[in-house]
Structure 1
């Protein structure tokens, strides 16, 4: 895909991939693809209809249905078939009244989220259900790293590169990508497996993060890159 660059990185040659992941040290991370946010007939979608705002949110749900969910399924199938690490991060608080949530998840507006563990809205959508042996971390913050043991789990498994997808691009996904980068991980952000409320917000965040916090790629580019690296590993064995 054509690389989106800010002024800071216009001098970087186009087409050069700086990330060469070791597949055995690479994990897929799917962020917040939960019923509350993703389902067209539940949760936030119902709220949008009740408030007469569905026309403003139709882009978001159409992109999820037509592009983002299918591409996440494609990535899941690739990682599972090749026995690579699959992980999930989700918003889910421990107390039913949500008193353990961070302030950012209590503020008025769309981000005022109360999803206790066990609530239907907190579960991943059926199309992206975790398997029994796949790691799911519960967060009360935007970043999957902040306030969870996710980083420790990655370190324990020897993970060096994280392939990140999910919603929303300009909030929880962006916060997670930045945290991973600051913690020393290489990050691939799969552009067509993410979504924001509008195309403009999505594009702006992608442009800001690319080449400093992550390498932005498409689903097909990501799979091709990791497949090529798997081929190199076999040749060297």
Structure 2
């Protein structure tokens, strides 16, 4: 893999107000990505979602606690810290953000460009919120994206697959691959990934949702062979 890559680990924090499907697997796969990225000297960037403790920076409609502050990701609490298994090293960059996208009101784009990065390897949570928003913004800014499907999680498998399908339909610079294949890519070995063949490749009606997920899974399984 060329040195124009960076690993973006999104919001792998202590916050436990959301029960996430397959979170243990997501952590394990992210740890493997992290270990290999460090060994290959690929830049690592973490994001943390943090809401001001007094609620002054919350967007309209954001849930609030009884004291008017945020009900989750509250600044100054243990919940905003990166989980211990994935703890950043002192020389690794931790980016704090107050909105879903890692690019919104941050200097992420400028820093990546300063490093010469053109490809983002993305993992983290939640697939259908912060991961989705960040990938769309990365695409709009001209990055190539490798989304590691089994190193992402959200509250339901339906939400996870909905996000993957939306991204596969409309992010033309996207590769979707699993952790094993991404590790091969990080080690500059041959690897397999799913690249959307045309816009709206996974178009479907509501009654076709399960069969479309199966179609996506079939594409991803072929990348494991």
Measured against the shorter chain, the TM-score band is: 0.7 to 0.9
2:187 aligned counterpart, secondary structure = helix
- 1:216 equivalent in alignment to 2:176: yes
Deviations 1:22-80 (A, max 9, x none): 531100011111001xxxxxx416xxxxxxxxxxx4xx25x111x10000000000001
Verify the 8 A CA contact 1:98 1:115 in the aligned structure 2.
no
Q: Secondary structure at the match of 1:77?
A: helix
Measure the CA separation in 2 of the matches of 1:129 and 1:137: 13
Give the number of the structure whose residues are more often helix, by fraction. 1
Verify the 8 A CA contact 2:123 2:147 in the aligned structure 1. yes
Give 1:96 deviation, angstroms: 2.3
> Structure 2: where are the runs of 5+ without partners?
191-225
1:84 aligned residue (42, 65, 69): 42
Tell me the alpha carbon deviations over residues 128-162 of structure 1, each in whole angstroms, 9 at most, x when there is no partner: 11111111111110000011111111111111000
Corresponding residue pairs, total: 184
| Offset, 1:182 | 0.5
TM-score by length of 2: 0.75
Partner in structure 2 of residue 44 of structure 1 = 17
Q: Counterpart in 2 of 1:185?
A: 143
RMSD of aligned Cα (Å) = 2.1
Question: SS of the residue aligned with 1:142?
Answer: coil
Contact 1:80 1:86 in 2 (8 A): yes
The two structures have a TM-score, normalised by structure 1, of 0.72
Structure 1 gaps, min length 5: 1-21, 37-42, 46-56, 231-237
